[in-house]
Structure formats: structure tokens, C-alpha cells
Amino acid sequence: RKEVEQDPGPFNVPEGATVAFNCTYSNSASQSFFWYRQDCRKEPKLLMSVYSSGNEDGRFTAQLNRASQYISLLIRDSKLSDSATYLCVVNMGGSYIPTFGRGTSLIVHP
């Protein structure tokens, strides 16, 4: 089993749709969780950290479920510019060596 797993997609949705991605992780001792966004042929950029209580940033909501060992990202009112690959990142243990999921591709069409 991979340490961090994501559905690669692609998720193909119309503008205005709500879309959700899940990411599961295998190490129950994981401490930090993030969602990154990567555009084609570009470097990943931090979208948001994921906190135990859940957190929201505009149209984006991230949640953490430690019992089931998954994190989620919800995007409301999708925009064309949201088209990208969304990477789940988990920090395993005390040393900061993050593990990336393979990413979920999102395509928002008119």
C-alpha cells in the first residue's frame, strides 16, 4: 500500500460545480497535512494547510479525518482557472520529510 494515495482522475466538471477530492494516508503518526496545486509544467504551490478542526479559504474547504486517515479538499463554484493537479502532502513523523500523493487532475470546462 502506498503511503499517500489519491484518485488520479481526471475530474471533468462544468464551471460552477462543486467537486471534492480525497486523499488517504497509511501512517497514523502523520502530523502535518497540506494541499498543493500544480499547474502543467510548473512547480507545486501551497494551496492550504489542513488542520484537525477543518479550515476554509474562500471557495476551498479542507478537512482531516484522523480516525479514517484521510484528508479532503472541497472546491465550490469551480472556475476555469481551478484546472490543475491537486497534490496531497503528508508529513510523516517528527522529521520533516513530506510525502506527496500522485495528484488528482481537475479540468473545469465552460
Partner 1 sequence: GAVVSQHPSRVICKSGTSVKIECRSLDFQATTMFWYRQFPKQSLMLMATSNEGSKATYEQGVEKDKFLINHASLTLSTLTVTSAHPEDSSFYICSASHRDYNEQFFGPGTRLTVL
Rounded CA separation 45/95 (Å): 21
Residue 10's CB: how many other CB atoms inside 10 A?
A: 12
Rounded CA separation 55/42 (Å): 26
CB of 99 to partner 1, least distance (A): 8
By beta-carbon proximity to partner 1, the closer residue of 29 and 97 is 97
Q: What is the DSSP string of 14-83?
A: ETT--EEEEEEES-TT--EEEEEEE-TTS--EEEEEE-TT-EEETTEEEEEETTTTEEEEEE-S--GGG-
Question: Residues binding partner 1: what is the number (CB under 8 A)?
Answer: 19
CB of 16 to partner 1, least distance (A): 27
CB of 44 to partner 1, least distance (A): 5
By beta-carbon proximity to partner 1, the closer residue of 49 and 69 is 49
Binding mask 31-70 for partner 1 (x = CB under 8 A): -x-x------xxxxxx--x---------------------
> Does the footprint of partner 1 cover residue 97 (CB under 8 A)?
yes
Residues within the interface to partner 1 (CB under 8 A):
32, 34, 41-46, 49, 87, 91, 96-103
